[in-house]
C-alpha cells in the first residue's frame, strides 16, 4: 500500500509539471483514499479542485484539513483553511464563529473581534436578535474594555425588555468614562440612553450633573428643577440646584434653596455655611453676622473654625465698626493660636483713634487762637451753646486776619464721627454696586456633535485622513477608504501617498465581484440619530460620517496587544493559500514589530507582485530598503526581488542594472548570473561589455 501511495504521488507530480490537472486530481484522490490521514495530500487535492472550479468537492476536503489543524493546535493553518472555505462558500456563516474562536485561541483578539462583527452583521440583517446578544456577550467577555461593544449590548438588552441588564452595561460604560473625565462622551451617552429610560430619575440627575461639569449650569438646573415637581423635598436635588445657582452667583435663588434645605435639617452646618456665603455674596452682611452669631457656638463645638474664621474676616472688612465681629475674631484667633493678628487689628484701631484725636486738638487750637485775635464787641450776645456761636465780623483787615487763621480748617472741615461712619458705609455700598459683574457665558442646550468635534477653523488633517483610510483598508472596508482618499486628493491633489493608497483600494474593489458578504460591523456602535426606526436599529453604522462617531476603538493598541509573531505567521499561511489580501493585512499588523518590518514589507511586495500590482510591490521594496533595521542579507534579497519585479514589468534595463548590483556583492547569489545573461541577450548586449558598464545601484 505504501508503494502504491508513493507511485501515485510521483505520478501526480509528473502530471502537474505537464499541467495535466485532471490527471493529478485523480492521483491525489487515490492517495487520500488509500491514506485518509494524509492531510498534505488532501489539502493539495482541494487546491486542485478549486482550480478546476469544483468548489463543493474542494470545500469538503478543506473542512477535513481545517478540523485536523484546529484539533491538533495548528490554529494559524486552520484559520487560513477556514478563510479559503469562506471564499468558496460565503453562505457558511458558522465559519465566522470558528474563525473568531481560533483567533482568540491564538491570542489574536483584534482578528477575533472582527470575525464576531461579521457574524453580528449577518444576524442583524436577518433579525436574529437572540444570536446578536450571544455574540455581543462573547465580545464583551473577550474584551471588556471595548466600550462600543458594551454600549451596543446595553441597547440590545433594553430593546429586548432586559432593562436591568441594559442599565448595568450603561453604568459600567459610564464608570469608565467618568474615570477618564471624558465629559463629551458621557453627555452623548446620556443623550443616547435618555429616550430608552425616560422615567429614570437617577439617569436624569446624572444628566444634570454632567451638564454642570460641562459648564452648562442653567441647562442642568432646568433638568434638576423638573425632577422637583415629583419630589419637592428631595435633599440631593435641592443641594445640586443650590450649588448651581451659587456657581452662577444668582444669590437670591441660591439662598432660597438653601433655606428649604435648612428647613429640612437645621443642624446641617455645611448647608448653613453655604447659606451664610450666599448672604455675604448678596451684600446682606448684617443678616450674615446675625446667622453666624447665633450658630457660632455650634461651629466651635463641631471644630469648623477654618470656614468660620474666613466668614468673620470677610465681615470685618465689610463691617469694620462691628464690636461683635471683633470679639468673635478675638476668640477664634485665641483658639487657633493666632493672637498676634488680633493685636495687629487693635493697633490699627488705636492708631486711627489717635490720628482722629490729633486732628481734633489741632482744630481746637486754631479756633482758640482765632478767638484771641478777634475783638468781640460788648454789645453782641454770645449764647452758651458752643455749636451755635455767632460772631459779628469787624472791619476789613480783621476779615483778612480771620480768613488766614481759618484757612486750614476750611480745607479739611471737621466731620462728625457718626457722619463719618455713615459716609464709609455709603462708599462701601456704592463700590459694590459699581463693581463689574462677572461675565456669564450664554450656554445652549445643544447635544449635537458639532459642539464636541474639532472647531470649524481646524486645518485639513491629511495624516489623520490617510491613517483612517489605512485602517479601512486593513478591515476590508474599501468603499469607505476610497471616499477618504478622494476627499484628500480633492484638497491636496499632489499627494503621492494618497494616490498610491487609492490605487491599492481600486485594485481591491475590482477583485470583490465574487464576494457576497461585504459588510463588516464598524467599531463605532453609537449613532447621532437618536430616533432611528426599529427595523434600522440593528443595521451596521459603517456609513456614518466622522462627525457622527463618538467612541472609537483604538485599533493600534489592540494590534500591539496581539502577538506580532502570530500575525506574521498567519500572513504566510494566507499567502500560501492564495489569500493575498488577507496576507497583506496580517503583514501590515505584524510590521508594528520593528524586527519584523523589513520581512513584512518584502512579503507584502511579493503579494502585490503575485497580483501583478507592480507599482505597490516596488513601493514596499523601497520602504524596506529605507528601513534603519535593514541587514546585509536582507539588502541582497531585496535587490534580487526588485530586479525580478523590473523584469516582470518589462523594465529590462533597470532589471539588468539591479541584477548587476546583486552580483557585485555575491556572484553565487541564486541564479543571478543566468538572469544577467538572459537579459543581456534580450537587450543585445555582449557578455564582454558587462565590466565596461557603470554599476547603477538600487540603494
How many CB atoms within 10 Å of residue 276? 25
pLDDT category of residue 487 using cuts at 50, 70 and 90: confident
pLDDT category of residue 525 using cuts at 50, 70 and 90: very low
CB of 136 closer than 8 Å to CB of 149: yes
For the stretch 133-171, pLDDT in tens is: 999 999 999 999 899 999 999 999 999 999 999 999 999
pLDDT category of residue 460 using cuts at 50, 70 and 90: low
- Please tell me the predicted confidence (pLDDT) of residue 265: 93
CB of 563 closer than 8 Å to CB of 106: yes
Q: At what angle do helices 323-336 and 305-318 cross, to 10 degrees?
A: 150
Q: At what angle do helices 597-610 and 564-576 cross, to 10 degrees?
A: 20
- Please tell me the predicted confidence (pLDDT) of residue 218: 93
Cell of 628: 534603519
What CA–CA distance (Å, rounded) separates 494 from 513? 30
For the stretch 193-228, pLDDT in tens is: 999 888 888 999 999 999 999 899 999 999 999 998
Residues of the chain with CATH 1.25.40.10: 199-282
CA angle 257, 262, 267 (to 5 degrees): 150
How many CB atoms within 10 Å of residue 76? 24
Is a pLDDT exceeding 80 seen at residue 89? yes
pTM reported for the whole predicted model: 0.56
Q: Which residue has the cell 469787624?
A: 394
Is a pLDDT exceeding 50 seen at residue 74? yes
Is a pLDDT exceeding 60 seen at residue 295? yes
- Please tell me the predicted confidence (pLDDT) of residue 484: 80
pLDDT category of residue 121 using cuts at 50, 70 and 90: very high
Q: Which helix (H) or strand (E) holds 106?
A: helix 94-106
650 phi and psi angles, rounded to 5 deg: 65, 35
Per-residue burial over 586-620, b if 16 or more Cβ lie within 10 Å, else e, is bbbbbbebeebbbbbbbbbbbbbbebebbebbbbb
What is the DSSP code string of 348-415? HHHHHHHHHHHHHHHHHHHHHHHHHHSPPPTTS---S-GGG------SHHHHHHHHHHHHHHHHS---
pLDDT category of residue 380 using cuts at 50, 70 and 90: very low
**What's the rounded mean pLDDT across residues 389-405?**
41
**What's the rounded mean pLDDT across residues 579-599?**
90
Q: For domain 284-355, give its CATH number from 1.25.40, 3.30.230, 1.10.287, 1.10.3470.
A: 1.25.40
Comparing C-alpha atoms, which of 584, 586, 558, 585 is closest to residue 570?
Answer: 586
441: Cα separation from own chain's centroid: 25
Highest mean pLDDT pick, 83-97, 379-393, 559-573: 83-97
Cα-trace Rg, the chain: 44
Is a pLDDT exceeding 70 seen at residue 379? no
pLDDT category of residue 49 using cuts at 50, 70 and 90: very high
In the 3-class helix/strand/coil scheme, how is 618-667 assigned residue by residue?
HHHHHHHHCCCCCCHHHHHHHHHHHHHHHHHCCCHHHHHHHHHHHHHHCC
For the stretch 316-332, pLDDT in tens is: 899 988 888 988 888 88
Cell of 622: 523601497
Instruction: Using a pLDDT cut of 70, give the percent of the chain over it.
Output: 72
611 phi and psi angles, rounded to 5 deg: -90, 5
- Please tell me the predicted confidence (pLDDT) of residue 476: 62
Task: Say which residue, 526 or 79, is predicted with more confidence.
Answer: 79
Task: Say which residue, 475 or 583, is predicted with more confidence.
Answer: 583
- Please tell me the predicted confidence (pLDDT) of residue 272: 93
Output DSSP code: residue 694: P
Q: Of 43-52, 76-85, 183-192, 300-309, give the lowest mean pLDDT range.
A: 300-309
- Please tell me the predicted confidence (pLDDT) of residue 437: 39
Is a pLDDT exceeding 60 seen at residue 530? no
56: Cα separation from own chain's centroid: 47
What CA–CA distance (Å, rounded) separates 523 from 117? 9
**What's the rounded mean pLDDT across residues 607-634?**
90
Is a pLDDT exceeding 60 seen at residue 681? yes
Distances (CA, A) of 28 to 19, 20, 82: 14, 13, 21
Average pLDDT over the chain, rounded to an integer = 77
Give CATH for domain 199-282: 1.25.40.10
CB of 279 closer than 8 Å to CB of 255: yes
- Please tell me the predicted confidence (pLDDT) of residue 694: 42
Amino acid at each position: 500500500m505504501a508503494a502504491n501511495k508513493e507511485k501515485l504521488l510521483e505520478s501526480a507530480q509528473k502530471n502537474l509539471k505537464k499541467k495535466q490537472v485532471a490527471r493529478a486530481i485523480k492521483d491525489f484522490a487515490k492517495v487520500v483514499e488509500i491514506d485518509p490521514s494524509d492531510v498534505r495530500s488532501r489539502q493539495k487535492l482541494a487546491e486542485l479542485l478549486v482550480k478546476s472550479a469544483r468548489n463543493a468537492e474542494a470545500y469538503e476536503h478543506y473542512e477535513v484539513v481545517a478540523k485536523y489543524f484546529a484539533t491538533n493546535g495548528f490554529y494559524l493553518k486552520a484559520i487560513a483553511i477556514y478563510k479559503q472555505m469562506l471564499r468558496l462558500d460565503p453562505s457558511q456563516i458558522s465559519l465566522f464563529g470558528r474563525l473568531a474562536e481560533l483567533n482568540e485561541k491564538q491570542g489574536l483578539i483584534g482578528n477575533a473581534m472582527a470575525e464576531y462583527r461579521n457574524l453580528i452583521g449577518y444576524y442583524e440583517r436577518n433579525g436574529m436578535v437572540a444570536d446578536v446578544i450571544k455574540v455581543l456577550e462573547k465580545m464583551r467577555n473577550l474584551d471588556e474594555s471595548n466600550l462600543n461593544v458594551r454600549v451596543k449590548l446595553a441597547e440590545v438588552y433594553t430593546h429586548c425588555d432586559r432593562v436591568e441588564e441594559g442599565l448595568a452595561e450603561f453604568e459600567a460604560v459610564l464608570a469608565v468614562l467618568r474615570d477618564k473625565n471624558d465629559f463629551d462622551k458621557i453627555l452623548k451617552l446620556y443623550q443616547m440612553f435618555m429616550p430608552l429610560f425616560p422615567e429614570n430619575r437617577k439617569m436624569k440627575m446624572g444628566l444634570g450633573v454632567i451638564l454642570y461639569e460641562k459648564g452648562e449650569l442653567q441647562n442642568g438646573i432646568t433638568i434638576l428643577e423638573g425632577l422637583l415637581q415629583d419630589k419637592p423635598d428631595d435633599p440631593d436635588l435641592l443641594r445640586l440646584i443650590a450649588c448651581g445657582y451659587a456657581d452662577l452667583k444668582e444669590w437670591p435663588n441660591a439662598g432660597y434653596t438653601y433655606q428649604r434645605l435648612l428647613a429640612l435639617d437645621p443642624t446641617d452646618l455645611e448647608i448653613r455655611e453655604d447659606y451664610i456665603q450666599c448672604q455675604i455674596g448678596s451684600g446682606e452682611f448684617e443678616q450674615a453676622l446675625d446667622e453666624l452669631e447665633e450658630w457660632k457656638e455650634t461651629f466651635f463645638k463641631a471644630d469648623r473654625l477654618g470656614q468660620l474664621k474666613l466668614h468673620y474676616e470677610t465681615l470685618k472688612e465689610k463691617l469694620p465698626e462691628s464690636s461683635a465681629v471683633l470679639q468673635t475674631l478675638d476668640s477664634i484667633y485665641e483658639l487657633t493660636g493666632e493672637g498676634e493678628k488680633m493685636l495687629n487689628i487693635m493697633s490699627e484701631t488705636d492708631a486711627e483713634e489717635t490720628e482722629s484725636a490729633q486732628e481734633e486738638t489741632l482744630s481746637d487750637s486754631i479756633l482758640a487762637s482765632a478767638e484771641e485775635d478777634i475783638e468781640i464787641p460788648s454789645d453782641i450776645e454770645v449764647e452758651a451753646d458752643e455749636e451755635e456761636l455767632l460772631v459779628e465780623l469787624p472791619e476789613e483787615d480783621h476779615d483778612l486776619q480771620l480768613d488766614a487763621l481759618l484757612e486750614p480748617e476750611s480745607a479739611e472741615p471737621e466731620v462728625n464721627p457718626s457722619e463719618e461712619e455713615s459716609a464709609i458705609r455709603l462708599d462701601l455700598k456704592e463700590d459694590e454696586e459699581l463693581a463689574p459683574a462677572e461675565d456669564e457665558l450664554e450656554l445652549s442646550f445643544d447635544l449635537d456633535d458639532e459642539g464636541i468635534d474639532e472647531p470649524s477653523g481646524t486645518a485639513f488633517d491629511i495624516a489623520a485622513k490617510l491613517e483612517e483610510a489605512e485602517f479601512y483598508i486593513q478591515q476590508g472596508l474599501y468603499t469607505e477608504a476610497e471616499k477618504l482618499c478622494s476627499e484628500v486628493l480633492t484638497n491636496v491633489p499632489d499627494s503621492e501617498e494618497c494616490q498610491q493608497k487609492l490605487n491599492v483600494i481600486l485594485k481591491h474593489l475590482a477583485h470583490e465581484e465574487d464576494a457576497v458578504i461585504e459588510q463588516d460591523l464598524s467599531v463605532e456602535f453609537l449613532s447621532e440619530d437618536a430616533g432611528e426606526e426599529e427595523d434600522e436599529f440593528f443595521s451596521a453604522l459603517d456609513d456614518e460620517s466622522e462627525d457622527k462617531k463618538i467612541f472609537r476603538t483604538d485599533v493600534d493598541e489592540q494590534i500591539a496587544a496581539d502577538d506580532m509573531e502570530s500575525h506574521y505567521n498567519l500572513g504566510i499561511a494566507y499567502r500560501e493559500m492564495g489569500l493575498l489580501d488577507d496576507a497583506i493585512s496580517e503583514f501590515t499588523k505584524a510590521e508594528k514589530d520593528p524586527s519584523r518590518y523589513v520581512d513584512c514589507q518584502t512579503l507584502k511586495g511579493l503579494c502585490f507582485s503575485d497580483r501583478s500590482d507592480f507599482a505597490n510591490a516596488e513601493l514596499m521594496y523601497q520602504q524596506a530598503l529605507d528601513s534603519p533595521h535593514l541587514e546585509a542579507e536582507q539588502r541582497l534579497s531585496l535587490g534580487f526581488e526588485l530586479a525580478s519585479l523590473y523584469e516582470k514589468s518589462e523594465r529590462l534595463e533597470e532589471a539588468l542594472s539591479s541584477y548587476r548590483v546583486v552580483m557585485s556583492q555575491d556572484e553565487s547569489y541564486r541564479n543571478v548570473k543566468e538572469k544577467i545573461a538572459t537579459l543581456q541577450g534580450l537587450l543585445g548586449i555582449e557578455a564582454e561589455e558587462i565590466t565596461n558598464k557603470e554599476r547603477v545601484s538600487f540603494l
